[in-house]
Structure 1
Amino acid sequence: MGLLNTLSFRRLQKGIDAANMRQNALANNVANVDTPNFKRSDVSFESFLREQERGLQSKLGAKVTDPRHIQFGLTGNVPSPVIRTDKSTSMNNNGNNVDIDREMALSAENQLRYSSYVQLLNSQISMMRTATEGR
C-alpha cells in the first residue's frame, strides 16, 4: 500500500473530482438559464460518502462515546460522484428550472468546498513529506 493510497487521501481526491464535476454542471446550468425546457443538473457525492460512513460504522458495532475517538475499520471503497438532473421542477413558463441566484450561491459554496479539499490534501502531503524526510 502506497503512502498516497490511504482512505482519507482517496476521499479527498474524489471530493476534488466531485467539486470539478459540480463546477462544470453549475456552469452549464448558468449557460442555459434561458433555454426552454432545460433541466438543471447537480453532482451528488458528499451525501453518498456520509451514507457509506454511517453504514460502515453500524456494521462494525463499535461504540463511539466521543467525537474525538479514532474510527477504525473504515477501509471501504470511496463512492464516485454522480451527476443528477432535476426533472421534477419548473421555475419558468418555458419549462426551465434554473434559478440564477441559487446557481451562483451553489457555485460559491462549491468553490469553498474545493479550496478546503485542496488545503486538506496539501496538509496530508506535507505531513507525509515531513515524516519521510524527517524535517
Structure 2
Amino acid sequence: MSNSFFGIHESALQIREQRAEVLATNLANADTPNFKARDIDFRAALNDASEDLKPTTAMSKTHAHHLEGSTGFGSTDAYLKYRQPTQPSLDGNTVETHIEKAQFMENGLQQTATLEFINGKIMGLRGAIRGE
C-alpha cells in the first residue's frame, strides 16, 4: 500500500512504536544510577512526517537499476528529548516510574487507535473490492 492510502497514520504508527521502545527503556533503567529518562517529541516528529507526505517534484529515474526514494518515516533520534524530573533523586536517575507508566499506557492506547483506523481503511478497501 502507498502512503497516500494510509496517509499520516503509517508514520504515526512507526513513531508510536519507536516511542514505546524509548519509554520501555526508561522503565527498565528506573534503578540505574545517573540514567537520564528520554522521550520522543511526538508532535514534532509527526509534523515533519506529514511534511514528507506532501507532493513534491519527484527525481527522475534514468536507469532501471536506480533506487526509489524512501516512503516510510525514518529514525526519531532527532526528536529524542531528555525528560525533566519533577523531583530530584540522590543517584542522578531522572526516571519517574509513575510518569513513565502513564506515558507508556497512553502511547499504547493511541497506537491501538491508529491500528484500528488503519484496519478500518483496509476493511473498507476489501469491501470495495468484493463489491459490498
Q: TM-score, normalised by structure 1?
A: 0.69
2:76 to 78, 82, 86: 82
Residue 108 (structure 2) pairs with residue 111 (structure 1): yes
Q: Deviations over 1:12-70 (max 9, x none)?
A: 222222222111111111111111110112223333323665x79xxxxxxxxxxxxxx
Mean Cα displacement is larger for which, 75-84 or 113-122? 75-84
1:15 matched residue in structure 2 = 12
2:40 to 36, 40, 43: 43
2:30 matched residue in structure 1 = 33
Given that 2:26 and 2:95 are in contact with CA atoms closer than 8 Å, whether structure 1 keeps it comes out as: yes
Given that 2:11 and 2:49 are in contact with CA atoms closer than 8 Å, whether structure 1 keeps it comes out as: no
Give the RMSD, CA atoms, in angstroms.
2.8
- For 1:48 and 1:125, locate their aligned partners in 2 and report how far apart those are by CA, in whole Å: 25
- How far did 1:132 drift? 2.0
Given that 2:15 and 2:45 are in contact with CA atoms closer than 8 Å, whether structure 1 keeps it comes out as: no
- How far did 1:10 drift? 4.9
In the TM superposition, 1:89-100 aligns within 5 A as 91-100=88-97
Given that 2:35 and 2:94 are in contact with CA atoms closer than 8 Å, whether structure 1 keeps it comes out as: yes
What is the one-letter code of the residue matched to 2:15?
A
Which secondary structure state, in structure 2, belongs to the residue aligned with residue 94 of structure 1? Answer: coil
Structure 1: give runs of 5+ residues left out of the alignment.
Answer: 57-72
Q: TM-score, normalised by structure 2?
A: 0.70
Which secondary structure state, in structure 1, belongs to the residue aligned with residue 40 of structure 2? Answer: strand
- How far did 1:80 drift? 3.7
Instruction: Report runs of 4+ in structure 1 exceeding 4 Å deviation.
Output: 76-79, 87-90
Given that 2:36 and 2:93 are in contact with CA atoms closer than 8 Å, whether structure 1 keeps it comes out as: yes
Mean Cα displacement is larger for which, 113-122 or 75-84? 75-84
- For 1:27 and 1:110, locate their aligned partners in 2 and report how far apart those are by CA, in whole Å: 11
Number of equivalent positions: 115
2:60 matched residue in structure 1 = none
Which secondary structure state, in structure 2, belongs to the residue aligned with residue 38 of structure 1? Answer: coil
